[in-house]
Structure 1
Amino acid sequence: MDSNTQFVEWTVADSAIGPLLLAATGQGLVNVVFHADEAVRDRAVRALATRFGTEPTPATPGHAGLLEEPIRQIAAYFDGRLRAFTLPLDWSLAAGFNRQVLRELAATVPYGTVVGYGDLAGRVGQPGAAQAVGAAMGANPLPVVVPCHRVVESGGGLGGFGGGLETKRQLLALEGVLPQPLF
């Protein structure tokens, strides 16, 4: 492997919101992809191969290597036993303003709380950039772990979500922000 390539390991983990593709490098968790059926998984793995210049390796069943702790923490989050992820993150799939906004979100919007798009823009010194914050949320390579589901419209609307609004509702209900569905 030359110095421009990096080892990438991936797996698909079950969750309360459906299968999640998790990918990690030696730096940390690098990607979480919603609704990871076979077609989505294949597209995500191809994108990682292109980005990192190496063919991502599927985790070995029973020995998840780089993904062992992310799998454990994701399961604990969905079981209601984890409120804050403590994983090393590889931010290489986010840059510039997007990375700045995502890091601010991860650091300052805890479990069970929400923030408005405009409020988050103000926190990074760009008070007029609510739409750019929305774009950053849509480009988040680490959803759930970097909680873009906690960013909502200032008027109380859910706003958008890359994983679909029903997934956003489920995540906010899990955290107690929204009521659980009746059935």
Structure 2
Amino acid sequence: MTTTLLPRPRPSTAVDAVETHLEEARLAGAHVAAGHLVVLEDRVELTCRAALGVVLLACGTGCSAELVTVHVAAGIAMGNRVVLTFVETPEDEVADLVTSWEEAAPRGVFQAVATPGEAWHLRPGDVLTVAVLMPTALIVDDRRHQHVRCSDGRHDLPSALRLLSAPTTTTVPITVSPWRP
């Protein structure tokens, strides 16, 4: 059965809230993506995080608006294009949130589809990652990850940023010679 998410009127504050979440995720994402540099005896290694490509984020039953927001923001902040879909018709609060995301997200990086079978498109060269979001866990490429919460009960954004990005390491061989004045 195919359902359609109908646009709903919402206060502009909902869009402002989504924009704020996205900006917070971008700032945190820049920190997570920055990585670290290790100098070894024969090489230098730079490890950072990179986008996965296109993330099909399929939300299961019972996902809260906060949970969806954290993961959509994390996916976009790490440079992915996020296609959001739902296994069942989402609750009104989540459907309203989707409308806000469609308005607030930069053009071309977010798309919501009513069901996993609804039309959406990959571009040549796109890499697809399927992520299944459930109230208790996120499954990315068949690996299950429990949600992490901060001490104040909110979902841990840095954890979501790491799960929706890939580690990349660049190694440069070096030759170390003694210093001579």
**TM-score after normalising by structure 1:** 0.25
User: Which structure has greater helix proportion?
Assistant: 1
Task: Work out which structure has the larger RCO, using CA pairs closer than 8 Å and 6 or more positions apart in sequence.
Answer: 2
**TM-score after normalising by structure 2:** 0.26
User: Which structure has greater strand proportion?
Assistant: 2
